[in-house]
Every structure is written in structure tokens, then in C-alpha cells.
Structure 1
């Protein structure tokens, strides 16, 4: 596992030192800083460099929860507290773990960190599932399916139109069609295969994509498209 950058937010000195020891005992964790109050950590959280926040639910518990909810891109969160009553709220906010202080041991803490490791692995596997391989002669092109708007025929070639750039590959829509159907794409015309997730609107003759491009719908493909889109 890569290094996980950690901050601690805890208003009790002895509890802070204990958390620092627990963090130091796990090789994959790197402590960036310890803070007495949430407000002191706002700047480092805004930097985007924090992967894990370990915090105590402080005096006004509801304010702590509101602070977590206000984060636009929150890191992983482990709550370590004496206050049992906010557990349901914490899990609703998708904190990675909620540990009551009497139960806080090195073993219990490592169990919480392992949850983060498992989540990271799942996310990486999910990202790999989204990668489509396009064969082009003796080389292979790997593109994240979520970046593709559509693919159009160019004779014995196809052009892959993505959010960032276009790619021309030596293959045909017919050869790609079956594989792409399983990846969330649909053929709407003899010249076009479209990423279903990029469709913004469908009318009788055209599909509008999220990049505002409009593509014609071929009569042969209309019923299948309508079925997939629930029309």
C-alpha cells in the first residue's frame, strides 16, 4: 500500500499522543500534523494532500458532523470518541470507522486501517474494469471508457472521440460492437457507436451527447437504442 497521509484532530493532549503512537506503529501511515480543533485543520484539508483524518467528536458533536458534511472532497475519516450517540450519523456520512475510546487498541486501529486498504484495492480494480483495450496492428491502446463520447467509422479504421483527444485505430465498428456492448456502449447508426453514459437527450432522429454534439439515429438501430434508454 502507498503512504497514507494522516492528520489527527483531538483536543485532549494524552489522547493525541496515544493516536500519534498508533499511527507511528503502522508503516503505511505518514502523520502530517496534529490539531486541537477542526478550524485549525481547514487549511491543510483544503490543500488536498490529506488521505485520512482521525478525529474526536468534540464538545459540540453536531458541529463536527456538519463540518464533515461540508467537505467537498473529504479524505477517509476515522472517528475516535467517547460519544456513542453520534455513531449512526457518522456512518451515514460514510466514515471508514467509528471507534469508541475504551475499545481503541493497536489491533482495533489496524483493523480500521485495513478497511482503507481494502477500499483502495476495490477502487483500483473498478478503475481497471473501466479500461478498454483497442488493438491497432502490433500495438494496443488503453482508454478509460468514461472518457469516450462515441466511436465513428472511417472505412477500415475507426476514430475514438474522447474528452481529451481523438484516436484513429485500424479496426471496424463491426469488430468492436460486441465487446463495447458489454462496456455500456450502443450502436445507433452504421457509422456510430455511442457511450450510453454520455447521452444527454434522444429524439426521433438524433442523439444529443453531453459535449453538445448531435448524431443521427439509423432506423435499423432505433428500437434497440430506445429499449436501452427505456423509451
Structure 2
């Protein structure tokens, strides 16, 4: 696991020392500072990316709960307090955990494990979203199962009656949906409808004329009612390059 930058905001010295001792037992926890009030911690929050705050609720000046409401969503909070009546308030503002003092190592470990799982889940989601953005895909039902197809691998679609053939760089897939339904699912600009039966990936076009489009050694016809649209799209690609 990558390093987790954390700070302690705690005005009771024994509790602060105990938290520091617990933190030292976890190699991936990097303690960036200890503070006795929210105001004292402001500078480090501006100069460092803090992932996790061990935050006392009863603090001089601004309370821990009031401060937690102002934090960025990416900063996790584990509340520390001697009072059970604050638990509901703590969870209402989406605190990761709520630990009663004096904090045992066992209870501290449980809170850290909870944070680690939440962090791992969030990183997985972010990675998945990044991959989807960088390499978009669609799911298509083929042979009673859903198949994931990356758009960059699709060469063209061909309508055949009540089903659709999807030609990728390596395979051909068959799905029961119309070419129009498929076109509506695809991002604008990546594919061009050249015929009532053909939808082609613009980046896979290797040549074209007034009547055909080439995708490697495959020649696909340009429909009579699509000439003007296809000509505009293909000439804009030609001029761009």
C-alpha cells in the first residue's frame, strides 16, 4: 500500500501520545504532524495532501465536527472522543470511524483496516473510471452472454436482417439488435454511418472514394442517401491529416 499521510488534532496530551505510538506500528502511516487545535493544523492542510485525520471532537475554538464538515471529500476522518453521545453526529457527516478513548491498539487497528479497505475500493473505482475514459468500451450480448468490446478494436458494424455483425481487428461477433440502436450507444465522432447496413470506425478507414470505403482489404459501399454526410466526414478527416 502507498504511504498514507495523516495528522493528529488532539488537545489532550496523553491521547495524542497514544495515537502517535499506535501510528508508529504501521509502516504505511506517515504522521505529518500533531496539533492541539483546528487553527494550528490549517497550514499543513494547505501545504500537504493529508489523507487521514485523527480528530478529537472536543477542541478549543472550532469543534472537530464543525471542522470535519469543511474538509474535502478525499480526506478521511476518524473521530476520537471520550463521549459516546457524539457518535451519531460523527456518522451523520460520513466519518470513517468513531473511536472512544482511551484507544486500544486493537480498536485502532480495526479503524485502520476499515480505512485501508475503503481506500482500496475508492482507488479501484478511480482506476476503472480512468481506464474507461482512456479506453472506452461497450458490453454486447452475444451467444447468451455479455461480451466486453473496446471501441478502439472495432472496425465496423454490418446489419444482417434482425441481427448485427461486429467486426473487430481479430474477431466477428453477432448480436440481436439494430444498427441504429448500436449507433445511439456509441460516442459521437468515432463511428460514421456510411450505409443503412454499415457503420464504420473512422480511424480504421484506410481509403475511400465517392462510392466505397476501404478498411484494409475490405470494401464497403456508401449508400445513396449517405453520400453528402459521408463525403463531409471523410473530407474533414482527409483535410485534418
* TM-score normalised according to structure 1 size: 0.58
Change (3 A) 1:189 1:64: same
Secondary structure at 1:175 match in 2: strand
User: Within 2, Cα distance between the matches of 1:176 and 1:32?
Assistant: 54
User: Within 1, Cα distance between the matches of 2:183 and 2:49?
Assistant: 47
Which residue of the other structure, out of 156, 159, 162, is the alignment partner of 1:172? 156
Provide the aligned C-alpha RMSD in A: 3.7
Q: CA deviation at 1:124?
A: 3.1
Change (3 A) 1:193 1:30: same
Counterparts in 2 of 1:9-158, with a 5 A limit?
9-59=9-59, 63-102=63-102, 104-130=103-129, 143-145=131-133
User: Within 1, Cα distance between the matches of 2:84 and 2:20?
Assistant: 22
Q: CA deviation at 1:12?
A: 1.3
Change (3 A) 1:119 1:176: farther
Deviates more, 1:77-86 or 1:54-63: 54-63
Larger-gyration structure (1/2): 2
Alignment-derived partner of residue 160 in structure 2: none
Q: CA deviation at 1:80?
A: 1.0
Q: Which runs of 5+ in 1 are unaligned?
A: 132-142, 151-159, 161-167, 180-186, 196-231
- Is the Cα contact below 8 Å between 1:188 and 1:194 reproduced in 2? no
Change (3 A) 1:47 1:59: closer
Q: CA deviation at 1:146?
A: 8.5
Q: CA deviation at 1:27?
A: 1.4
Q: CA deviation at 1:189?
A: 6.8
User: Within 1, Cα distance between the matches of 2:167 and 2:109?
Assistant: 46
- Is the Cα contact below 8 Å between 1:68 and 1:74 reproduced in 2? no
- Is the Cα contact below 8 Å between 1:82 and 1:100 reproduced in 2? yes
User: Within 1, Cα distance between the matches of 2:113 and 2:53?
Assistant: 15
- Is the Cα contact below 8 Å between 1:52 and 1:76 reproduced in 2? yes
Structure 1 stretches of 4+ with a deviation exceeding 6 A read none
Secondary structure at 1:171 match in 2: strand
Q: CA deviation at 1:72?
A: 3.1
- Is the Cα contact below 8 Å between 2:55 and 2:64 reproduced in 1? no
Change (3 A) 1:192 1:119: closer
